[in-house]
Structure 1
Amino acid sequence: MPHRTELYEDSPSACWPIVYSPDYNITFMGLEKLHPFDAGKWGKVINFLKEEKLIADDLIVQAREATDEDLLVVHTRRYLNKLKAGKLAVDRGWAINVGGGFHHCSSDKGGGFCAYADITLAIKFLFERVQGVSKATIIDLDAHQGNGHERDFMDDHRVYIMDAYNRYIYPGDGFAKRAIKRKVELEWGTEDTEYLQKVHTHVEGALNELKPDIIIYNAGTDILDGDPLGGLAISPQGIVKRDEVVFKAARRRRIPILMVTSGGYQKRTARIIADSILNLHNLGLIDKELATIGAENPKVEQMIRDTAKDLANLSLQ
């Protein structure tokens, strides 16, 4: 039997399926300024979207707190005892979580600023609770290899992983690479034209090879030119176009898609994320009233609502 959880409470239908909590923004007596990660990035994204009149405070889905019982779906008790409680983002329909994407964390080990295996947890919840969801595809376009979810789904044929990353940087996890079904290893300084061509080719190839019931899209902005940790050279316009390519591929195939924002270590990444969300809206790829792409089928509509609620973004307090 599925464990008891409060993560399935319905979200107001008037809300955008954009999830955020002020607790995502980490501060510690100013010491966060010494770290390359912009600890206030997620709040800045929301503020940019407010300025553009896309959203307002009362139209955002508020993150919920995950209990130990929720986290034990993925993590061991021993591992959880090492961590503080976090925040769970609860989504519905298509989903964009302005936090999340902790793809270096596996079920028993953290790493690379990642304390919780939110991608693994989302998929585990889906397989456990949502009838008809038996296949998932992870499209990981962060600059770093997503070794956490790769280790978790190493022998799980229900999960198809596409991962495009700088081959020379952290984590260089050779064992985890065995789980990647479509591996795209990039060179230092890869630029827009080559990058977007590869993203388009391999996203289309991945979704043609296996049509999943859900896509988890890890949309890191650490591919941006000048990022101190990513080592690639993609322009802001290239990042916006990349997200557009992925959402269009999902929409053409009528596959629900859940997006998390993952890495990005420059102050300007918040503006780029906001611009990308606005672009997706302007193109009609996301909409507050759109329950995404299968609303004419009640079973699919229910699946979409339920699956989005399972996207676990666990941001350290």
Structure 2
Amino acid sequence: MFKIAFHPLYKHPVPDNHRFPMAKYELLPQQLLYEGVVQKEQFFEPDFPDLKSIYAVHDKMYVTDFINLNLDARAARKVGFVQNKQLVERELLLVQGTIDAALMALNDGVAFNIAGGTHHAFSDRGEAFCMLNDQAVAARYLIDHHEIKQVLIIDLDVHQGNGTAEIFSGFQPVFTFSMHGKTNYPFKKEQSDLDIALEDGIDDATYLQILNDILPDLIEKIKPDFIFYQAGVDILASDKLGKINCTIEGCKQRDALVFSLCKKHNIPVQCSMGGGYSPHLSTILQAHAHTYKVAKDLF
């Protein structure tokens, strides 16, 4: 059985503009248990990380200022959350949750973090609800402390993983692949190792065809020892910030394609949930729950 990182503090911070659906982090575990997708013993609570693992990808001064609540007003506004101790604790626990899940995936094939996918966090700053880049930290941790030579980060959130791209620019052991909305945030894109910019309004068939044309060959070419998957569900047509017209079924098929390729090539995969901003929380929960259902069927 795969494992899932979850901590009660995942739910606490409230963003300045109240658009970020924090309740999903508390409700998704309940939904998965209610539907019988997972069992209670599959959840684990991460502890606080060794800061050295964070310094491996983030500027030490930035991390120190964030932890001590000393970010200047401009930096704090770009993040979007009210700065407080609970937020700091949440972000640290979130990062360790992804590290732990990655280690568990080495044995179980797949593991999850209920939160995470904070791909807008740069090496020296945070943006758009992202303070520390959980999958970047975990990727570097595997490379530095385990026999992982090549990592592939698959970022299918509707927004480009600009922070991840910046962190690993020129770092060959990590290949960054981002498939995102062309006209969506961030409006100034970074350069991933492979960027696929999607036109507004594309449907399931087009989205899945593009992904299927690229991902199998990319995995064959890169031959990763480990995959990190950012599984944002903001590609849904109902998403307030998305501009892509995928359905819940299309989102499920996307997840099935990623996980089936990981399974086929025997590549461990850690999945963080990423974004989702549909008006109805039930839509977000349903889409995220499908990601777990697909993994349960395949692993």
Secondary structure of 1:137 counterpart: strand
What residue is the counterpart of 2:12 in the other structure?
A: 26
2:61 to 61, 74, 78: 78
Matches within 5 A, 1:7-22: 16-22=2-8
Secondary structure of 1:82 counterpart: helix
What residue is the counterpart of 1:182 in the other structure?
A: 194
1:124 to 140, 151, 154: 140
Identity of aligned residues (%): 27
Secondary structure of 2:122 counterpart: coil
Query: Within 2, Cα distance between the matches of 1:244 and 1:153?
Result: 27
2:165 and 2:193 in contact (8 A); partners too = no
Q: TM-score, normalised by structure 2?
A: 0.83
Matches within 5 A, 1:1-317: 16-28=2-14, 35-83=18-66, 84-85=88-89, 86-87=92-93, 88-89=96-97, 90-91=100-101, 92-93=104-105, 94-131=110-147, 133-174=148-189, 176-177=190-191, 180-266=192-278, 267=281, 268-281=283-296, 283=297, 285-286=298-299
1:182 and 1:206 in contact (8 A); partners too = no
**How many pairs are equivalent?**
263
Point out the structure with the larger helix share.
Answer: 2
Higher mean displacement: 236-245 or 58-67: 58-67
Q: 2:288 corresponds to which letter in structure 1?
A: I
Query: Within 1, Cα distance between the matches of 2:39 and 2:263?
Result: 26
| Structure 1, unaligned runs of 5 or more | 1-14, 287-317
1:167 and 1:187 in contact (8 A); partners too = yes
Deviation of 1:38 (Å): 0.9
Query: Within 1, Cα distance between the matches of 2:200 and 2:230?
Result: 20
Q: CA RMSD in A?
A: 1.7
1:162 and 1:206 in contact (8 A); partners too = no
Deviation of 1:27 (Å): 4.6
Query: Within 2, Cα distance between the matches of 1:114 and 1:187?
Result: 25
Deviation of 1:71 (Å): 2.1
Q: TM-score, normalised by structure 1?
A: 0.78
Deviation of 1:280 (Å): 2.8
Q: 2:25 corresponds to which letter in structure 1?
A: W
Query: Within 2, Cα distance between the matches of 1:256 and 1:227?
Result: 30
Where relative contact order (Cα < 8 A, 6+ residues apart) is larger, the structure is 1
Query: Within 2, Cα distance between the matches of 1:182 and 1:73?
Result: 23
